[in-house]
Amino acid sequence: MVQVAIVGASGYAGADLVRLLHRHPAVELVCITDLTNAGKPFSDVYPAFRGRVDRILENIPPAEVAKRASLVLAAVPHVAAMGMVPELLAGGARVIDLSADYRLQDAAEYAAWYGHSHTSPELLAEAVYGLPELNREAIRGARLIANPGCYPTGAALPLLPLLRAGAIDPDSLIVDSKSGTSGAGRTPSPGTVFCEVNEGFKAYGVASHRHTPEIEQTLSTVLARSVRISFTPHLLPLNRGILTTTYASMTPARTTEDLLGLLQRAYAAEPWVRVLPAGQLPNVAHVRGSNYCDIGLVADARTGRVVVVSAIDNLVKGAAGQAVQNMNLMLDLSETTGLDVTPLTP
């Protein structure tokens, strides 16, 4: 059993890490930490876990965490993450960071989009972007994983095979995403009060959301050329799920079946990507609580564009589940270990 710690276990992503790891057959959860709830049993903060995870939340320094655990999953906000990751690594732990702090390879771009200068830029070159379907081999041996953002995961997975095959024009990409409210975190704020979200729907962060450069970096790296996209997130009045609708010009026009075939071949061996048959499209309800990314598409001969739709659970494949998938790779386990959960429906 590998000794594992979760830093920042009281947020929604942290709690989903606890959900997935407390019964994981190959790891032992030795430490869960939280700043504000330290001293309380985890099940006081999340009563759903009563009798399952009654362990006390602790508030201990990174060096101490690294002493107890050989692998640490950090689910704290950006900036806070880079305040502890170097110390965790120095203490000998491998780290999966769920924040944005090590995702962008260029410290200047990080500073531009996040409004903070990076305090450990020397780690950016070492950090591996933890999208297993893209970087599987590098992840296995990594010391530091930058776990992808929720929107970038839902955006990149359906596009990568299409771009690699030259099937779509990289300059035409328009990514329209809609996320459940758990993506906004558990800390109360005026924008996430129930009555402000329920029966409402809006766009936010238009032309300015911080996941834009992350998506662009992934696509640019794969194509070895600079890609710029339009990306618009929206807030859905539901708990879990991101649906991403992407528009791209086909080069040249093909049939729906052709393009689906391309995706099916690319993802045939992937345990957590499901390419739907022609005529079917994803629904966030069909991946709820699971690590799946469902993908469907329609080629539109009228306009010469393809409309690609993906669905993930933002807390699972978009955060905690993908982190566990990365952990499994780092520990030479099957990628499905501890993740074999059927989506909860209805």
Query: What amino acid positions are annotated as catalytic residues?
Result: 150
Stretch that binds a copy of itself, among 26-34, 46-54, 57-65, 111-119 (CB under 8 A): 46-54
Helix (H, G, I), strand (E, B) or coil at 153: helix
The answer to the question of residue 318 lying near a copy of itself (CB under 8 A) is: no
CA-CA distance, 327 to 25, in Å (whole number)?
13
The answer to the question of residue 263 lying near a copy of itself (CB under 8 A) is: no
* Residue of 39, 141, 204, 255 interacting with a copy of itself (CB under 8 A): 204
Measure the CA angle with vertex 84, ends 78 and 86; round to 5°.
110
Pick from 175, 186, 182: which is nearest to 209 by CA?
Answer: 175
The answer to the question of residue 252 lying near a copy of itself (CB under 8 A) is: no
Stretch that binds a copy of itself, among 54-62, 115-123, 125-133, 184-192 (CB under 8 A): 184-192
The answer to the question of residue 9 lying near a copy of itself (CB under 8 A) is: no
The answer to the question of residue 22 lying near a copy of itself (CB under 8 A) is: yes
Binding to a copy of itself (CB under 8 A) within 69-88 occurs at none
The answer to the question of residue 332 lying near a copy of itself (CB under 8 A) is: no
**Amino acid, single-letter form, for residue 199:** E
Number of other residues whose CB lies within 10 A of the CB of residue 53: 21
* Residue of 203, 225, 226, 255 interacting with a copy of itself (CB under 8 A): 203
**Tokens read off for 104:** 């962008």
Stretch that binds a copy of itself, among 68-76, 147-155, 204-212, 322-330 (CB under 8 A): 204-212
The answer to the question of residue 337 lying near a copy of itself (CB under 8 A) is: no
* Residue of 148, 149, 161, 282 interacting with a copy of itself (CB under 8 A): 282
Tokens 């300059």 — which residue?
A: 171
**Tokens read off for 274:** 């499901």
The answer to the question of residue 303 lying near a copy of itself (CB under 8 A) is: yes
* Residue of 59, 117, 255, 345 interacting with a copy of itself (CB under 8 A): 345
* Residue of 3, 221, 232, 337 interacting with a copy of itself (CB under 8 A): 232
Question: For residue 129, what are the β-bridge partners?
Answer: 146
Looking at beta carbons only, is 306 or 329 nearer to a copy of itself? 306
Stretch that binds a copy of itself, among 45-53, 57-65, 100-108, 160-168 (CB under 8 A): 45-53
CA 182 to chain centre: 13
The answer to the question of residue 24 lying near a copy of itself (CB under 8 A) is: no
CA-CA distance, 249 to 208, in Å (whole number)?
23
Q: In what order do the strands lie in the sheet with 27-33?
A: 27-33, 2-7, 71-74, 94-97, 144-146, 128-129
Pick from 68, 60, 53, 56: which is nearest to 16 by CA?
Answer: 53
CB neighbours of 252 closer than 8 A, spacing ≥ 6?
A: none
The answer to the question of residue 300 lying near a copy of itself (CB under 8 A) is: yes
The answer to the question of residue 189 lying near a copy of itself (CB under 8 A) is: yes
Looking at beta carbons only, is 48 or 125 nearer to a copy of itself? 48
| Longest CA pairwise span in the chain (Å) | 61
CA-CA distance, 152 to 310, in Å (whole number)?
11
